[in-house]
Chain A
Amino acid sequence: MSGRRDEFLSDEDLDLQNLSTEELETYWRLWLIQAQTTNHEDRASYSHGVFERDPSVP
């Protein structure tokens, strides 16, 4: 068998393991801030649970 392995996530994702707690916190917060740009688009949708869409949102 070759030394190759099945890849699931990007190198950038896996590099989180090398970050200190402070670095992870900074990166996480910056990611959260950047992710706010899609708030309007996903205002009706759900990431977890048994509900899929808010019926009050047109």
Chain B
Amino acid sequence: MDNPYIQLTQEFNHGRLRAILASGQAVVLYRLAIMSKDGDWILEEEAEALAHVVATLARHGARYRYGAPLDLRWLVHGWSSHLEFQEGGLRLRCDFVTRPPRVSPVVLRALWEAPVQKEASVVSLPVLAELKKTNREKDYAVIGELARKMEDPRLQALYSRSVRDLMKLAEDHPEAVLGAVVERPLLSRIGQGREEIERLLDEERRSLIRKNEVRLDRYGEAAVRWGAEWPRLSKEMAGRPLAEAHAIKVEKAAEHLPRKP
């Protein structure tokens, strides 16, 4: 496929799997919606994988945006790293994490052991649904549609955002719904009728949005000194080859960006 984010994924994975396409571009590959012009990957937590990605992006003339360096010392604590470049009239943004939010270590390990293969390696439907639990309302519509693509009724029960779908699931697969109650308590209230489930789904969405905001606030507070340093640092890095800029960014981050938020 000629899409630049697919091509980049293939370059990142040259020789072996290092990067799994996530979020908006994964939504496209699941053929649900085209809703993001940026690329977002989960990287393997290995120094070689990060070095390969930096070298690949260097060939494209990428530059660092504000964010953590592509370095395990920060990424293992959930920080994200951001680069961008221009190619073929397009601004291509590349966002990376190794510890995606809301994804347990067990699920993350399973993702690397058996990645979903579309036109490129992409995250599984449940992981994509977790990544979409952001503070944007539109992402919850995507989760609702993702749940319909899941084959396992238990997973459908965990992620569905449709009252009608949930009531049908409770009729057709009561054991699957019951088995998911501990993880999603609103499932225990399906018998209480449509209006109550609608209210609980709204409440659940608002709660997830608040949780994500609290998480982002924690990182934002930890990055205050880094943010103050960034305007000067970005000028220092401007125009330098990416490998050189990367070394500068790592050195400065060691002074100004705490590893643990």
15-43 of chain A: CB within 8 A of chain B: 16-17, 19, 21, 24-25, 27-29, 31-33, 35-36, 39
Q: How far is the CA of A42 from the CA of B7 in the complex (A)?
A: 24
- A39→B91 contact, CB < 8 A: yes
Given contacts A9-B145, A46-B95, A56-B66, contact A16 B34 (CB under 8 A): yes
The reply to whether the CB of B192 lies closer than 8 angstroms to some CB of chain A is no
Q: Which of B93, B165, B223, B228 contacts A51 (CB 8 A)?
A: B223
Which of chain B's residues have a CB closer than 8 A to the CB of A28? 3, 28, 34
Whether B65 sits at the interface, judged by CB under 8 Å, is yes
- Is B1 a contact partner of A25 (Cβ separation < 8 A)? yes
Neighbouring A residues of B142 by C-beta, 8 Å:
8-9
Looking at the complex, which of B49-57, B74-82, B106-114, B175-183 is the stretch in contact with chain A? B74-82
Residues from chain B with Cβ under 8 Å of A17 in the complex:
31
Pair B119/A21 contact, Cβ less than 8 Å: yes
Q: List the A side residues contacting B58 at CB < 8 Å.
A: none
Which among A8, A13, A16, A49 is the interface contact of B67 at CB below 8 angstroms? A49
Question: Looking across the interface, which residue of chain A has its beta carbon closest to that of B39?
Answer: A48
> Hey, which chain B residues are within 8 Å of A29, CB to CB?
2-3
Known: A25-B1, A25-B2, A55-B230. A50 touches B79 (CB 8 A): yes
How many B residues are at the interface, by size bracket?
35 or more
Q: Are A9 and B33 within 8 A (Cβ)?
A: yes
Residues of B close to A5: CB separation below 8 A = 162, 164-165
B193: CB under 8 A from chain A? no
Main secondary structure of the interface of B (DSSP, over half): mixed
Nearest Cβ in chain B — how far from A42, in angstroms? 9
Is there an interface contact between A1 and B23, defined as CB atoms closer than 8 Å? no
Nearest B residue to A58 via CB reads B231
- Is the CB–CB distance between A55 and B144 below 8 Å? no
Chain B residues in 8 Å Cβ range of A1: 164, 167-168
Query: How far apart are the CA atoms of A54 and B168 in the complex, in Å?
Result: 46
CA A56 – CA B95 in complex, angstroms?
Answer: 18
**CB pair B164 A6 closer than 8 Å:** yes
Distance in angstroms from A8 CB to nearest chain B CB is: 4
Q: How far does the Cβ of B202 sit from chain A's closest Cβ, in whole Å?
A: 13
* CB <8 Å contact, A51 and B36: no
B24: interface (CB < 8 Å): yes
A14: chain B residues at CB < 8 Å are 32, 145
Could you say which residues of chain B place their CB within 8 Å of the CB of A9? 32-33, 141-142, 145
Q: Are A51 and B1 in contact (CB under 8 A)?
A: no
A54-B95 in contact given A4-B164, A21-B1, A27-B34 (Cβ < 8 Å): no
Assuming A5-B162, A6-B162, A55-B227, what are 11 further A-B pairs, CB within 8 angstroms?
Answer: A1-B167, A8-B145, A21-B119, A28-B3, A33-B89, A47-B24, A48-B24, A48-B40, A48-B80, A49-B79, A50-B215
Chosen A-B contacts, 6 in total, with CB atoms closer than 8 Å, are A8-B141, A13-B33, A25-B3, A49-B82, A51-B219, A56-B66
